[in-house]
Amino acid sequence: MASSYSVKLFSGTASRYLAEKIAYYYGKPLGTVTLQQFSDGEMSPYFEESVRGCDVFLIQSTFPPADNLMELLLMIDAAKRASAKYVTVVVPYFGYARQDRKDKPRVAIAAKLVANLLSAAGASRLMACDLHAGQIQGFFDFPVDHLDGSAVFVPYFRSLKLDNLIIASPDVGGVSRARAFAKYFGADIVVCDKHRKRANEIASMQVIGDVEGANVVLIDDLVDTAGTITKAAKIIMEKGAKSVRAITTHPILSGSAYETINNSVLEELVVTDTIPLKQESPKIKVLTVAELFAKAIRNVHDHESISTLFLQV
């Protein structure tokens, strides 16, 4: 049943490109929010229209720089102080999610800290896609709508009609993600077991499973330097695979990642637009999550389940 209060969509600076597409699929123009900046870089966003009593959706991914997160926090605060009824933060890519536990002494749990900041600013709800770890949802004391990128990836890979398909995880931690994706195709999975010397540097890797003559699809939630995914692809091809493609929801692609991908054995890297590409690449294909988020926003506003947006095996 539709709510009696109106929906208003606003975008932060970093995600304007995606917010415009979400608004198009939702069928409602983006509201006007202006970001003033002092000469020292301090930000001051303000809404140029009333949000009193409205269901406000603020669209902004929190990839670096940290200004993107700060801008979102200020927008939440401004909306709450302007008497918005609900403030849902739509964060297609939830940054700092890789720091979700203490894996060594004296480190921060940044994902929990960001969750606390969003709560303190006054957010009512979070909507995100493919969190680095599902349990991050438990860091929040308000509802979290965790959308699944498979809704856009599976139709694309079905259209390729690949025979002898095998789904691969580039590391042991991603096995559950690979297994879930494999179920859509009734495919087997293999695992690339890696050992790191330090962050973003792989010491060794081996493939667990048979890929001889198979079309292999590597799946991960994000790609940063592309070292893991391209090394996994190389080893899989050396083991006799017919082809290797890769899926990642969030294309961070820092440093020399584009060069690494272009020089790799990957047929293609399929990503979404949760993070904008820094440059074009003949090996990178972008699928949009705009329609998925537009449908989720509509369902949330109408107090309907978002489970209909998940693919059924």
pLDDT band with cut points at 50, 70 and 90 for residue 201: low
Kindly state the average pLDDT of the residues 34-40.
Answer: 94
Q: Please answer whether residues 229 and 260 qualify as being in contact, where contact means their C-beta atoms are separated by less than 8 angstroms.
A: no
Q: Is 134 annotated as a binding residue?
A: no
Alpha carbons 87 and 80: distance in angstroms, whole number: 7
What share of residues in the chain are helix, strand, coil (percent, to 5)? Answer: 30, 25, 40
Omega before residue 65 within 30° of 0, cis: yes
Is 227 annotated as ligand-binding? yes
**174 three-class SS:** helix
Q: Which amino acid is at 273?
A: D
**CATH number, domain 150-287:** 3.40.50.2020
Mean pLDDT of 130-147: 95
CATH fold for the domain made of 7-148+290-309 = Rossmann fold (3.40.50)
Q: Catalytic one among 21, 85, 102, 194?
A: 194
Confirm whether residue 196 is marked as ligand binding.
Answer: yes
* pLDDT over 90 at 26, yes or no: yes
- pLDDT over 60 at 2, yes or no: no
Tokens linked to 45: 């966003």
Per-residue confidence band for 3, with pLDDT thresholds at 50, 70 and 90: low
Supply the pLDDT for residue 208: 87
Residue (of 231, 190, 188) closest to 209 by Cα position: 190
40: annotated binding-site residue?
yes
Two domains, one topology: 7-148+290-309 and 150-287: yes
Q: Does 196 score more than 60 pLDDT?
A: no
DSSP assignment string, 258-300: HHHHHTSS-S-EEEETTS--SS--TTEEEE--HHHHHHHHHHH
CB crowding 131-147: b at 16 or more within 10 Å, else e? bbeeebeebbeeebbbb
Domain boundaries, the chain: 7-148+290-309, 150-287
Give the pLDDT score at 5.
74
The model's pLDDT over 149-171, given as tens digits with 9 standing for 90+, comes to: 999 999 999 999 999 999 999 98
The verdict on whether 102 is a catalytic residue reads no
